[in-house]
């Protein structure tokens, strides 16, 4: 079967298109999935750029959506023909993040091979059902970005109607957070360096937009919009370069979901200010299979659909990563395995 492997030295130009052995029939407790779509995440880009240590010849992509072709002995949750979507931590089924002691050792596209291939045979617990009525491309956005936003706001944040949420940027996690917050009846303040992207955020329901290039001290704008109180939740994807302003944007006792490090990894947390403001900072690393099951039920109930900026053929994976690295997208970048090469949509 066809697959893409990542070769050292890593980078977008180091994808090798290969034919590998078909994984065959599923064993006990496994399912065989014909893959139809994936989507790109910051984690995938870090792997491709060599910022995360992975083995040579790794098949990339953590997200995978497709159709069950066969089920192994003992599998009762799935049947042939079911539409499914992968999980980011296949061994974190429920409860607290105890199984994460090994880091990304079991994460597809990192510690194990990912879904840049035609077929995968994995334990049935490495997938959940996809939301009813969603395309494979839409379902593939849930594994990482959708679940991260869900855990940040709902699981860790306890989001409720009437809360105020601040989202940073307009990447996949932030746009999902905007949509989930609005579905819950929250007020959303979105930030971006682009007025065009802020207009798109407003079309999705964002109540306020702040261009952080025009307002470098954007926390002051957030406080002005909230009458000096600050927001209840911050979806913090920037890291050390934005965390101080996120803290000043959140209310006393507010919640900051620390998700990404787009500004780097330097440890410069203003601890005195954090204690004075009595804020809660939660490190968010995607979520469990149980969290994903809850998310699937939520999007089916609310009618939420993901925002996919552009889609690429699997053969054009390098082009998709170039777009991601340039930061020109709004929402998610999809990989549609049915598309012909050179026909991005």
Which residues does 255 contact at the CB level (< 8 Å), separation at least 6?
156, 157, 158, 232, 233, 234, 279, 280, 281, 282
Residues 6+ apart with CB under 8 A from 23: 32, 119, 120, 121
In a domain, 93, yes or no: yes
In a domain, 73, yes or no: yes
Q: What is the pTM of this model?
A: 0.94
Residues 17 and 83 in one domain: yes
Of 243, 335, 323, the C-alpha closest to 45 is 323
Q: How confident is the model at residue 53 (pLDDT cuts 50, 70, 90)?
A: confident
Which residues are CB-neighbours of 201 under 8 A, at least 6 positions away? 167, 170, 175, 178, 190, 192, 209
What lies within 8 Å, CB to CB, of 271 at 6+ separation is none
Using pLDDT thresholds of 50, 70 and 90, give the confidence band for residue 81. Answer: very high
Domain boundary among 239, 262, 283: 283
Averaged confidence pLDDT in the chain: 93
Residue 262's pLDDT band, with cuts at 50, 70 and 90, is very low
Query: What span, in angstroms and rounded, lies between the C-alpha atoms of 218 and 177?
Result: 19
**3-state SS, residue 123:** strand
pLDDT in tens, 152-190: 999 999 999 999 999 999 999 999 999 999 999 999 999
Q: Classify residue 298: in a domain, yes or no.
A: yes
Does residue 63 fall inside a structural domain? Answer: yes
The helix (run of H) or strand (run of E) holding residue 67 is: strand 65-71
Q: What is the DSSP letter of 143?
A: I
Number of H helices, E strands in the chain: 10, 15
Q: Between 227 and 344, where is the model more confident?
A: 227
Residues 268, 292 share a domain: no
Report residue 264's pLDDT band, with 50, 70 and 90 as the boundaries.
Answer: very low
Count of domains in the chain?
A: 2
Give the confidence band of 263 by pLDDT, cuts at 50, 70, 90: very low
296 by DSSP, 3-state: which?
helix
Whether residue 14 lies inside any domain: the answer is yes
Range of the domain at 184: 157-283
Co-location of 88 and 128 in the same domain? yes
- Checking if the pLDDT of 261 tops 70, the result is no
The C-alpha atoms of residue 283 and residue 294 are separated, in whole angstroms, by: 20
Query: 189, 194, 222: which is closest to 206 by C-alpha?
Result: 189
Confidence of residue 8 (pLDDT cuts 50, 70, 90): confident
Give me the mean pLDDT over the 134-160 stretch. Answer: 97
* Banded pLDDT at 103 (limits 50, 70, 90): confident
Single out the residue of 93, 98, 41 nearest to residue 259, CA to CA.
41
**Do 211 and 296 reside in the same domain of the chain?**
no
- Per-residue burial over 137-151, b if 16 or more Cβ lie within 10 Å, else e, is bbbbbbbbbbbbbbb
> What is the pLDDT, as a whole number, of residue 343?
62
CATH number at residue 8: 3.90.180.10
- pLDDT bucket at 252, cuts 50 / 70 / 90: very high
Residue among 184, 218, 217, 183 at smallest CA distance from 198: 218
Q: What is the pLDDT of residue 240?
A: 77
- Is residue 21 one of the residues assigned to a domain? yes
Residue 10 DSSP one-character state: P
pLDDT of 251 higher than 70: yes
In a domain, residue 308? The reply is yes
CATH number at residue 261: 3.40.50.720
My answer on whether 272 and 299 are in the same domain is no
């Amino acid at each position: 079967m066809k697959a893409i492997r990542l070769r050292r030295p890593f980078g977008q130009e180091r994808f090798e298109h290969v034919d590998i052995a078909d994984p065959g029939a599923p064993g006990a407790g496994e399912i065989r999935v014909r893959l139809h779509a994936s989507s790109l995440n910051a984690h995938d880009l870090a792997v491709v750029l060599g910022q995360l240590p992975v083995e040579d010849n790794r098949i990339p992509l953590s997200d995978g959506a497709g159709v069950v072709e066969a089920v192994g002995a003992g599998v009762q949750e799935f049947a042939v023909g079911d539409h499914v979507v992968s999980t980011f931590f296949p061994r974190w089924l429920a409860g607290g993040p105890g199984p994460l002691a090994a880091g990304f050792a079991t994460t597809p596209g990192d510690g194990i091979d990912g879904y840049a291939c035609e077929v995968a045979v994995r334990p049935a617990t490495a997938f959940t059902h996809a939301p009813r009525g969603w395309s494979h491309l839409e379902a593939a956005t849930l594994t990482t970005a959708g679940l991260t936003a869900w855990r940040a706001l709902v699981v860790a944040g306890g989001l409720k109607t009437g809360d105020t949420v601040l989202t940073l940027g307009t990447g996949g996690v932030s746009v999902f957070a905007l949509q989930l917050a609005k579905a819950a009846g929250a007020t959303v303040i979105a930030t971006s360096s682009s007025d065009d992207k802020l207009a798109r955020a407003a079309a999705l329901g964002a109540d306020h937009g702040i261009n952080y290039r025009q307002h470098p001290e954007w926390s002051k704008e957030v406080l002005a919009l909230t009458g000096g109180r600050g927001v209840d939740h911050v979806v913090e994807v920037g890291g050390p370069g934005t965390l101080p302003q996120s803290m000043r944007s959140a209310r006393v006792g507010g919640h900051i979901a620390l998700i990404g490090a787009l500004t780097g990894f330097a440890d410069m947390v203003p601890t005195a200010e954090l204690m004075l403001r009595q804020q809660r900072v939660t490190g968010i690393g995607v979520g469990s299979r149980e969290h994903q099951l809850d998310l699937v039920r939520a999007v089916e109930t609310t009618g939420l659909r993901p925002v996919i900026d552009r889609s690429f053929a699997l053969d054009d994976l390098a082009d998709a990563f170039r777009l991601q690295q340039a930061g020109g997208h709004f929402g998610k970048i999809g990989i549609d395995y049915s598309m012909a090469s050179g026909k991005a949509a």
